[in-house]
Structure 1
Amino acid sequence: MSHSVWNSSITYKTGLWRRLEWVAVSVCLFINSGAVFQLLMMYPDEILDDMERAKMRLLKIPIYLLTLIFLAPHVRQLALVAVRNLPFIMLIVLSAVSTLWSVNGSVTLRRSVSLLMATLLAMLITARFTPRQQVMLFGGTFGLCTILSLLLALTAPAMAFAPGESELRGIFTHKNVFGWIACYTAVFAVAMLRDPSPVVRKLGWTLFATGFTGIVLSQSATSLLGGIFAIISGFALQTVARRDGASRLVTQLVLFQVIAIVVMVLTFNLQVLLETLGRDPTLTGRTELWAAVDPWIGDKLLFGYGYAAFWTESNPAVAQIWDAIGWDAPGAHSSYRDLMLNFGLVGATLFCIVLIQAIRKGTVLLTTEPNEGWLWCLLIIGTSMLSGLSETIMLDQDDVLFPTAVMTIAFRYAELTAGLPRHRRVAIAAA
């Protein structure tokens, strides 16, 4: 990597302040993950009432304060990250503006503020940590969460497992949440295995074993698919990165064809696959939920119902959906459906632009600088897209991973091509 290019816009302080920065961001990520505190609030009655939920929201205050404190000295870098991520920033602005037509304006306003603060934390990580440092930051935090969950299973199984259940939830409130934290641990481990440092690679093997142990114990089918996806994608992306010219183009075409075939097979044979694996072919009621949600998406197709406002009790549509499916779904269990409910076609179009640009530029960076940690960004974007089929993760008000991956790619790509003549920028983009 050309360190002079990256560091031309980012000045890294050394000493105590820099160490505090690492600790502060790690603490923010740990709290944002939903670890420990929610479980303590709901244990042992397994219920989170409104008062306890209000207390949980107070935990966001230290995250907000730490984010603002450590961003304050780097306003210029913050502005650079924002300018180089205009489509994504427009999505964040849209979440706040949607208060004007939201079916629950107060909820939209509150949660759009949370989304903004999560984005600012992602900006801080983008501006202050290189991709390789981000691998250590996220991998270490999620790895710690996974290790603590496994230790809790050994020391306090009554808390680590939901009553009457065999699936491990660890230090989280639900096995699917722990499953995805373990999956992310495995994803970052895959990225570490490609690092040039032998020490980092050894740590990667440890985290890989830890992450997959967590995935298996959680018994979460979607996180298992995510872990397998990370392994296959990591190998495929590295294969593309090692080639050049016509050979790289052929490899990319073959890879895209394989992905298209796999997607078609899964789409048309998902029910058979789930039954073969002994899983619920309705995805634990999700297919019934989606059938009930889809007509409501069409009712406000252009701008949606306002950010995070649809799934509130003040919205009459929710009561009808709950009556139809027989349970109180907290969301659509689909990032793409909730995206349409939040923003409609306008937001979905912006999101597609963000996604396409991130994948294209991320692939260029991986091929241009294969040893600088770019693999994790592409793996997280791909894993988020996969998880978005059955979970609402992307553009959640607590999500930091996805915006960090997207903004880091755009930020560095702009650095890489800054000041170059047009024919050189085209050559890099076509690499």
Structure 2
Amino acid sequence: MTLHIGLVLLGTTLVGLDLAVRRTLSEQLNLLIPVLGLITILSVLTELLAPGLMYHDSPAWQGAFEFKNVFGRFLALTAAAFLSYPVHSQKGAIVKGLAMVALVGIVIKGHSAGALLYVVLLILLYKGSAIFRWHRKILLIASVLLLMVAIPAIYYVSNNVEAAAALLGRDATLTGRTDLWDFAIKSVFQHPLLGHGYGAFWSPASHEAEAIRESIGWQAPTSHNGYLDLLLDFGLVGIGLYFTSYFVAVRRAVIVFRNARTEDAVWPMLFLIFIILCQLSEASIVHGNSIYWVLYISITFGLYNEVTADESSVARRDSLPNVEVTKTAMQY
């Protein structure tokens, strides 16, 4: 199982790498926007014109996707891309605003509280992204103040799960996820360093996974938490490597945003924030044939390319002789 799906993951990784080599981050976004927009339109048409085409277990919209949560995650990705798309006129700004309003409406029809929360957070981050261009000392102070507010808030929510879930219209177990997470965490400690093997734990032949499904009373395909999935697949070593690559990418995304003045420079930051959020209640993005993994690879390597190009241009500029000094020397 690990060998088979590992080869699929390798192929998907190469697609993302090829995209990063051939296209800049701006060009990647320009390719992505029409695709995401077309899929969204087709999903709306599916719900309006052929509502019975996809299997529904609830009245919530799921578009042309198998489950409403998958549809919700896709809409959050679409929101991140649409917010990053540059507009150069008042008419374009109006069209972009109307598109975002329509997108939020579709998310609401999908009855996905998580997706709605992701979209709202992405909009707030987009509106406040200018703070990342502040002076470093001021940005550091603002980050410390934000942490002083965020840490108590997280502590309060963790101790009042039922009240927080009620605000989102969810039960305290997050539709059975918390029970699943309890069993998954226990399984992590069986092989904490290197994990059970990529894709092995939730495979059809896994006795451990089948025991968990019988205990929770439903057929869980994954842990519904990307970080638990990474721990089960790769252990502490694997998740450590993943977060190392992630934080390096975040640092480069901030550098690119600070150096650029184009609106689409916010795209890598929005995508990376979306990725860290969506894996809290959904499966890991480290998966073959996944648009999220393709984009993660293309963006992380694209950021490396742009940061390296900026450093090279600065180095060449610094190595050029000072023309005014040279002229003065020649006069003397």
**TM tier, shorter chain?**
0.7 to 0.9
Matched, 1:155 2:49: yes
2:130 to 230, 233, 238: 238
Q: Deviations over 1:273-328 (max 9, x none)?
A: 11233312211111000111111101101111111111012222112111211112
TM-score (norm 2): 0.86
Query: In the TM superposition, what whole-angstrom CA distance separates every residue of 1:241-271 from its partner, at most 9, and x where no partner exists?
Result: 2x23533333343344444454444433332
Match of 1:175 in 2: 68
Q: State the match for 1:282 in structure 2.
A: 173
Secondary structure at the aligned position of 2:189 is classed as helix
Residue 145 (structure 1) shift? 1.1
Equivalent residue, structure 1, for 2:321: none
Q: Pick from 272, 275, 284: which aligns with 1:393? A: 284
Equivalence for 1:86: none
* Aligned residue pair count: 312
Q: Distance in 1 between matches of 2:119 and 2:193?
A: 35
Question: Is 1:273 aligned to 2:167, yes or no?
Answer: no
Partner of 1:366: 257
Give unpaired runs (5+ residues) of structure 1.
Answer: 1-106, 425-431
Q: CA deviation at 1:234?
A: 1.4
Aligned-CA RMSD value: 2.2
Q: Does 1:339 align with 2:230?
A: yes
Cα–Cα, structure 1 residues 267 and 139, in superposed 2: closer, same or farther, change >3 Å?
A: farther
> Is the partner of 2:137 in helix, strand or coil?
helix
Structure 1 distance, partners of 2:255, 2:101, is 30
Shift in Å, 1:208? 1.5
Contact 1:188 1:376 in 2 (8 A): yes
Paired residue for 1:46? none
Q: CA contact under 8 A between 1:365 and 1:413: conserved in structure 2?
A: yes
Instruction: Give 1:427's aligned residue.
Output: none
Q: CA deviation at 1:150?
A: 0.8
Equivalent pair of 1:187/1:230 in contact (CA under 8 Å): yes
- Highest RCO, 1 vs 2 (Cα 8 Å, sep ≥ 6): 2
State the distance in 1 between where 2:20 and 2:275 align. 18
Letter in 2 for 1:230: L
Residue 155 of structure 1, CA deviation: 0.6
Return the TM-score normalized by structure 1: 0.68
Q: Which amino acid aligns with 2:277?
A: L
Moved over 6 A (4+): none
In structure 1, distance between residues paired with 2:144 and 2:167: 31
Match of 1:229 in 2: 121
With over 3 angstroms needed to count, the CA separation of the structure-2 counterparts of 1:179 and 1:347, relative to structure 1, is same
Q: Does 1:122 align with 2:16?
A: yes
2:55 and 2:99 map into 1 onto residues whose CA distance is 22
Residues 328-376 of structure 1 deviation map (CA, whole Å, 9 limit, x = unaligned): 2101100000000111111111112111111111111111113162311
* Contact kept in structure 2, 1:289 and 1:321, CA below 8 Å: yes
CA distance in 2, matches of 1:112, 1:257: 41
- Partner in structure 1 of residue 323 of structure 2: none
Q: Give the 3 Å change call, closer, same or farther, for CA 269–260 of structure 1 in structure 2.
A: same
Q: Do the aligned residues in 1 keep the contact of 2:122 with 2:270 (CA within 8 Å)? A: yes
Does 2:195 match 1:301?
Answer: no
Identity of aligned residues (%): 27
Check whether the contact 1:161–1:168 (CA below 8 A) recurs between aligned residues: no
Partner of 1:191: 84
State which drifts further: 261-270 or 110-119: 261-270
- Counterpart mapping for 1:17-416 below 5 A: 107-160=1-54, 162-163=56-57, 165-192=58-85, 195=86, 197-198=88-89, 201-241=93-133, 243-371=134-262, 373-397=264-288, 398=290, 399-416=293-310
Unaligned runs of 5+ in 2: 319-332
